[in-house]
Amino acid sequence: SSDLASKLREGTKQSHTMAENTAFMKCFLKGIVEREPFRKLIANLYLVYGALEEQLQRYSTHPVVSLIYFPILNRTANLEKDLAFYYGENWREQIAALEAGKTYVARINEVAETEPALLVAHAYVRYMGDLSGGQSLKKIIRSALDLPPDQGTGLHEFEQLPSVEAIRAFKGQYRDALNALPVDDTLAEKIVAEANYAFALNRDVVHELEDDVRIAIGDHVFDLITRQDKPGSTERSPGSTSVELVAAD
């Protein structure tokens, strides 16, 4: 086995901690979800997933990519519903890519051309994130924005994984699939490096939205909330933490 699942988890721990310690996520975890920056995030993730899922589909018979392509994870359709909810029916004319969003999309398309196996890294960072911390963020978003039932959190809804148990089981399956990929040590290292880069691309997107949050809540509250760092969720061993634990923190 390539042991890629633990290589990815271990090899991106620090990046994960940095992602959780972005000002944007710190505010999120305190229940501060501002509608404008949030919908911009959703819009940019829509562009990111659009590229990712198009490329995964294009390489759906590739010897590596095919083994990690699970269409039940596809986020594009759900994000379209979210965008219609947050922007209205003419959302397509209203959304715009941030600079960091453009860079992220360009990188996905670039690795698809030059080394498609690295798409594994991009899929891992987003989908495992949505299935992990994303599930606690969903509850925070629903309560902060006081959303009507079944609207506004399509990003974190997996219709075909309707319970905590189903999600946990699927994550096990996903890690097994990562471990079974026909990748040698050199390629595994490249995938881990690309995953760290994908984390950085995600950080850059939320970083570009921080000023919107600061303006919405004011400098004083923003500084109070963002000045302290916390240890990251994946610094602990797998299974030792639960989404409930994080949400209750």
* CB closest to ligand HEM, residue no: 133
Phi-psi region of 229 (alpha: psi -120 to 50; beta: other; left: phi over 0): beta
Tell whether residue 246 is a contact of ligand HEM (CB under 6 A).
yes
Enclosing H/E stretch for 153? none
What would the DSSP string read from start to end of 15-48?
HHHHHHTSHHHHHHHTT---HHHHHHHHHHHHHH
Place of tokens 């209750």: 248
Tell whether residue 129 is a contact of ligand HEM (CB under 6 A).
yes
Span from 15-23, 31-39, 56-64, 99-107 in contact with ligand HEM (CB under 6 A): 15-23
Residue in 42, 56, 125, 191 binding ligand HEM, rule: CB under 6 A: 125
Q: Which two tokens stand for residue 214?
A: 């600061």
**Least distance in Å: CB of 4 to ligand HEM?**
10
Residue in 37, 133, 152, 154 binding ligand HEM, rule: CB under 6 A: 133
Residues 6+ positions from 63 with CB-CB distance below 8 Å: 182
Tell whether residue 78 is a contact of ligand HEM (CB under 6 A).
no
Span from 17-25, 48-56, 57-65, 220-228 in contact with ligand HEM (CB under 6 A): 17-25
Q: Which amino acid is at 21?
A: N
Tell whether residue 20 is a contact of ligand HEM (CB under 6 A).
yes
Say which DSSP state 59 is in.
T
Q: Which residues in this chain contact ligand HEM in the complex, by CB under 6 A?
A: 8-9, 16, 19-20, 25, 28-29, 124-125, 128-129, 132-133, 136, 171, 199, 202, 233-234, 238, 241, 246
